[in-house]
Amino acid sequence: MRLRGIQFIYDNQGRKISAVVDLRRYEKEFAVFLQELSKKRSGGTTTNTNPVIGDTTDVVGSGGNNSGSTVNARKLKIDALLKTARSYYGVPYRTGGISRSGMDCSGFTQTSFKAIGLNLPRVSRDQALIGQSVAKSQLQPGDLVFFATGTPGRINHVGIVTDTSNPDAIRFIHASSSRGIMETSMGINYWVRAYIKARRVV
């Protein structure tokens, strides 16, 4: 029997949405989601750790196909990942860094993914070996994108896809050696030329 939680909730615009989650696998990410939703509903602050989340709060046992739950749980995990990654905006670049005092590109991705329970290798070329290969045309938020900004064909840079709404200007967040943690477009010629591959680990 699989434990599932929350069948219907309201988002911050009052729309009713479904969010069926496997609580045994994604309890931490689901708790983060609920806390953020509660803050939005209360104008940014909350003292209630058990927020009101709509008109139905069910925890039920279920067998059989759980593909809907898997999709929703993955989205919650990606949302938590991007929230963490964006919390580092402006952190300066520092070779070997993995903290808010400074990060390099792979330290940034490793730290961001660790926050959602996934341990990545320390360097970009090793991170490029995990997960599954993704075509550039099939990129989704949360995917890792790899670049060769030095020796041609040699991976030495990595970022996290944040927005794929414009296929010609897919956005990613990364640790820039000159500007620190920032978000930019893969449509810029520099990144078009440097792009090597993508991997999906969530």
Catalytic pick from 105, 128, 144, 198?
Answer: 105
* DSSP state letter for 149: S
Could you give the 3-state DSSP secondary structure of residue 17? strand
What DSSP string describes 64-110? S--HHHHHHHHHHHHHHHHHHHHTTTTPPB-TT-EETTEE-HHHHHH
Catalytic pick from 174, 181, 194, 196?
Answer: 174
The secondary element (H helix, E strand) that includes residue 16 is: strand 16-18
| Cβ–Cβ < 8 Å for 69, 20 | yes
Catalytic pick from 77, 157, 171, 199?
Answer: 157
Asked about 99 being catalytic, the answer comes back as no
Asked about 174 being catalytic, the answer comes back as yes
**Neighbouring residues of 167: CB distance < 8 A, sequence distance ≥ 6:** 137
Asked about 157 being catalytic, the answer comes back as yes
Catalytic (active-site) positions: 105, 157, 174
